[in-house]
Amino acid sequence: MAGPSEDKAIPIDDRALAELMRSAQAGDKAAYQAVLRASVPIVAASARRTGVPRDAVDDVVQDVLLTIHRALPTYDPARPFLPWLRAIAVRRAIDALRSQGRRGAREADDEIAYLNHPDDRPDVFEEASRLGDAGRLRAAIATLPPRQREAIEIIGLREQSLEEASAATGSSKVALKVNFFRALKSLRGRLGNDPDV
């Protein structure tokens, strides 16, 4: 025996849904809930057919349900309901795919790519030369810790490759690279070229 809280069968007939929308427009809450319940599987199927990933289908469904809510007063019950609903679902699915594409284009999850990204700030050595501040640069280099100073002198000033610097100092290429970039950051801060330091 069915209890009072159990749902009635959800109509999927276009005419029945249009009639429910008309009743919902007149203030019938049960009709409105029936329309929303009937819409969920239809919207989810449209979103999946459009190519929305499984984990984003619920977001599209929620967006469409909000759109139905906003459009309730303006829906014309004389027109077919299902094509109207599917058109909204496809539009919202495309919006979700575009948003996901924009996010993917902006986000960088590759830590190695981030570490190897070129620094677009001005080069400390060029900046010092341009400003005629070579003496100030030498004084700043002299205050660096020994390993950072060595990395700057060999890689930055003598312009040796990491392989050459590694052979000359006996340090690994990784250690030299880390010391070099730490030294650059320190020099930028001391010479006033890095607002983050």
Domain containing residue 125: CATH number: 1.10.10.10
Same domain membership, residue 23 and residue 51: yes
Final residue of a structural domain among 79, 105, 131? 105
Tell me if the pTM is above 0.75: no
Radius of gyration of the chain (CA): 32
Type of residue at 126: E
Q: What is the pLDDT of residue 134?
A: 66
Q: What is the pLDDT of residues 123-146, one digit of tens each?
A: 666 665 655 566 777 778 888 888
Q: Which residue has the higher pLDDT, 103 or 137?
A: 137
List of residues 6+ apart from 171 with CB closer than 8 A? 147, 150, 165, 179
Structure tokens at 160: 């040796």
Which DSSP string corresponds to 43-59? HHHHHHHHT--GGGHHH
Q: What is the pLDDT of residue 43?
A: 93
Q: Is position 1 within any domain?
A: no
Number of structural domains in the chain: 2
Same domain membership, residue 93 and residue 20: yes
Same domain membership, residue 130 and residue 100: no
List of residues 6+ apart from 16 with CB closer than 8 A? none
d(CA 89, CA 65): 9
Full domain range(s) for residue 167: 114-191
Same domain membership, residue 93 and residue 133: no
Q: Is the pLDDT of residue 160 over 70?
A: yes
Q: Is position 7 within any domain?
A: no
Same domain membership, residue 76 and residue 34: yes
Q: Which residues of 28-50 are buried (b: 16+ CB within 10 A; e: fewer)?
A: eeebbebbbebbeebbbebbeeb
**Cβ atoms 89, 109 nearer than 8 A:** no
